Amino acid sequence: MHEFGLHIDECDLLTADGDEPRLAAPEAADIVRQAGIERMDGQARAAVLAAMRKAAERRVAGVTEQKRRRHYGHAAELVALCLERDESPEAARWAATVRQECRRYPALRAELERRLGSS
């Protein structure tokens, strides 16, 4: 949410011309790679992974609550990034819970399947 109560995508629609040049936003995977999670250990790594899962959960909730189907791929990408960085049984259970909670959204489920594979 923007400070004026608008979602960031809504702000873009109000302020940008569709033909106007824009700076490219970094990909989520690039941000995670630059953060250096692989080099972290202990509590720092656990805190970052927990924050990543929370951010992914919020994105999934946001796109489903707001019916923003064209952003389902981004939400699924964030879930997949969490699993790429954390291969623990806890992370697998978390992803299974996210999938279960998305069962009413076939398009989102398809995006999750595409990025996570079937299980």
Residue 48 within any structural domain of the chain: yes
Closest CA to 101 of 45, 47, 63: 63
Instruction: Check residue 42 and give its pLDDT.
Output: 83
Write out the residue range of the structural domain in which residue 35 sits: 28-116
Cβ count within 10 A of residue 52: 21
Instruction: Check residue 37 and give its pLDDT.
Output: 72
Per-residue pLDDT tens listing for the chain (119 residues): 444 444 555 555 555 555 666 666 667 777 777 677 777 788 888 888 899 999 999 999 999 988 888 889 999 999 999 998 888 999 999 999 999 999 999 999 999 999 988 75
Residue 17 within any structural domain of the chain: no
Q: Is the full-model pTM beyond 0.85?
A: no
The answer to whether the CB of 56 falls within 8 A of the CB of 98 is yes
How many Å from the N-terminal Cα to the C-terminal Cα in the chain? 33
Overall number of domains in the chain: 1
Residue 57 within any structural domain of the chain: yes
Residue 80 within any structural domain of the chain: yes
Question: In a 3-state reduction of DSSP, which class is residue 60?
Answer: helix
